[in-house]
Amino acid sequence: MRRLALPATVFLVTGTLTPEGRKVDWVDTPPPHPLGTLTRDEILEMQAAGIRFESHSHFHSDLVALHQEDCENDLRTSREVLEALLGTAVAFLSYPRSRHNEGVREAAMRAGFTHAFAGEREAPKRLEFAGPPYAIPRVGVYPGNGSRALRMKSTRWYLPLRESGLYPLVRRLAGRGPLSHRRAG
């Protein structure tokens, strides 16, 4: 990435960075070994190399299921932990599992975020790349996605195609089989 001068942003679950720690328990199909996360030192090293860090919440909870106050506290805590570590403002949030509703979006705004990202399936059906600021569609990049997939997912037409009824057909025609994703977050 450095050689190609590619920008990158990593969204962190900040509960893993606190002294009490948080075990990674949100992966659908975890490997047989314990999953690790970036350490504070690794994050600072990556930040110095140009990687940007933003929030993926504090506990990776289903924010939609939380009481409004608990949701806001989780999000505010994540922003504050990151800002203290990074020494810079943290303005962006990526919703855990892309789940959000009006209450979660309002909690994100009150917690101090200026923008929040939702996955393709939870983004508004009418995609507008300029907004809304608390439900910006994001594209996942997963293990096994090669350079061709990354190029395709980077195009302006990918999200509208991904949300259309044509997507499963396009995947089958491309030899990718039925629609399936393994999500880690």
Q: What is the pLDDT of residue 19?
A: 82
Higher pLDDT, 3 or 108: 108
CA-CA distance, 73 to 79, in Å (whole number)? 10
How far CA 68 is from CA of 23, 56, 65, in Å, comes to 24, 17, 9
pTM: 0.79
CA-CA distance, 14 to 26, in Å (whole number)? 14
pLDDT band at 103 (very low <50, low <70, confident <90, very high): very high
pLDDT band at 54 (very low <50, low <70, confident <90, very high): very high
Higher pLDDT, 131 or 157: 157
Q: How far is CA 35 from the centre of its chain?
A: 18
CA-CA distance, 75 to 56, in Å (whole number)? 8
CATH code of the domain made up of 9-138: 3.20.20.370
Would the pLDDT of 180 be above 60?
no
Contact 141, 150 (CB under 8 A): yes
What pLDDT, in 10s, does the model give residues 65-89? 999 999 999 999 999 999 999 999 9
